[in-house]
Chains A and B, each alone.
Chain A
Amino acid sequence: MSFYGLIWRLLPGPTALKAVEAAVLALVVVAVLFVWVFPAVAPYMPFNDTTVGQ
């Protein structure tokens, strides 16, 4: 049982192609995190307040 092993087996093509596909997949995940997930989470972090107010 291995999640990443399963992905690796499902990727088509010879090993070299699989490696490229895996890299592209990883980049897509990072992009989704950077563009949507992290900006949505950041306001809940306790270190970004600079204003005075109630």
Chain B
Amino acid sequence: MRFVRGVAGLLGELLVTVGVVLLLFVGWQLWWTDVVSDTDAAQVVDALQADFDSPDWVQPKHVKLGDAFAIVRIPLFGSTFARPLYEGTTRDILQRGIGHYIDTAMPGEVGNLAMAGHRTTYGKPFNRIATLEKGDVVLVETKSTWYVYRVSGHEIVPPTQVSVLLPVPNQPDAEPTEAVLTMTSCHPEFSARERFVVHATLDASYPHDQGVPADVLEVS
């Protein structure tokens, strides 16, 4: 009898421990990854801005995998929303900010500037991607230029639909004539079943020194 009670006690302790560890994991995933990524992203944005201001720093034509080279700002996500744009979309890169699909267009270039970002966890840069509507502004800042892209629409696609990244999205044989931008994130939230995809078109660009007109940053 005493032995049975002892085993039951140990089993109980084990189950309680497992439960606590699972709760800790949820807390880590939903809260701590945001804390770590947000802190890191803010530092990288600050460093990039210092680079942009430095006469010695040159905007790279071919960015090394994992390097940050531009800043993405989306006024609808808040006036202080700024995330580094890294070259590449590996897991490690996306845990630090927004990733640029390699071999897609660079900011302002004719073709498709395609990027991926987390919708939940790891700083969740694209948490509110589904709130973007036609005409909303996506700013891409480089050393020389502010590129103003405006949302043209969205679609929900299976994870295998890589055609959204084409120079002219979803049109394999078309020759690109304009600069577009594509954002991908997971859909539905907390699931990897589908992808939420937002397309935008380059609307204007301004020299970096000049800055962006205030009305562009206004959220209606």
A residues sitting closer than 8 Å to B (CB atoms) are 1-4, 30, 33-34, 38, 41-43, 45-54
Contact = CB atoms under 8 A, between A and B. Distances in A.
B129 to A, nearest CB: 10
Interface residues of B, number: 41
Given A33-B24, A46-B192, 17 more contacts: A4-B13, A45-B29, A48-B121, A48-B186, A50-B117, A50-B184, A51-B94, A51-B116, A51-B159, A51-B195, A52-B159, A52-B161, A52-B164, A52-B165, A52-B184, A52-B197, A53-B160
Majority SS of interface residues in chain B? mixed
* Residue of B10, B25, B191 with most partner-chain A CB within 10 A: B25
B162 to A, nearest CB: 5
A2 B91 contact: no
Contact of B6 (A1, A43, A46, A51): A1
A54 B13 CA distance: 43
Contact of B119 (A2, A30, A42, A50): A50
Contacts of B94: 50-51
22 contacts: A1-B7, A3-B13, A33-B21, A33-B28, A38-B25, A46-B191, A46-B192, A47-B191, A48-B91, A48-B118, A48-B186, A48-B192, A49-B159, A49-B186, A50-B119, A50-B186, A51-B94, A51-B184, A52-B116, A52-B159, A52-B162, A52-B165
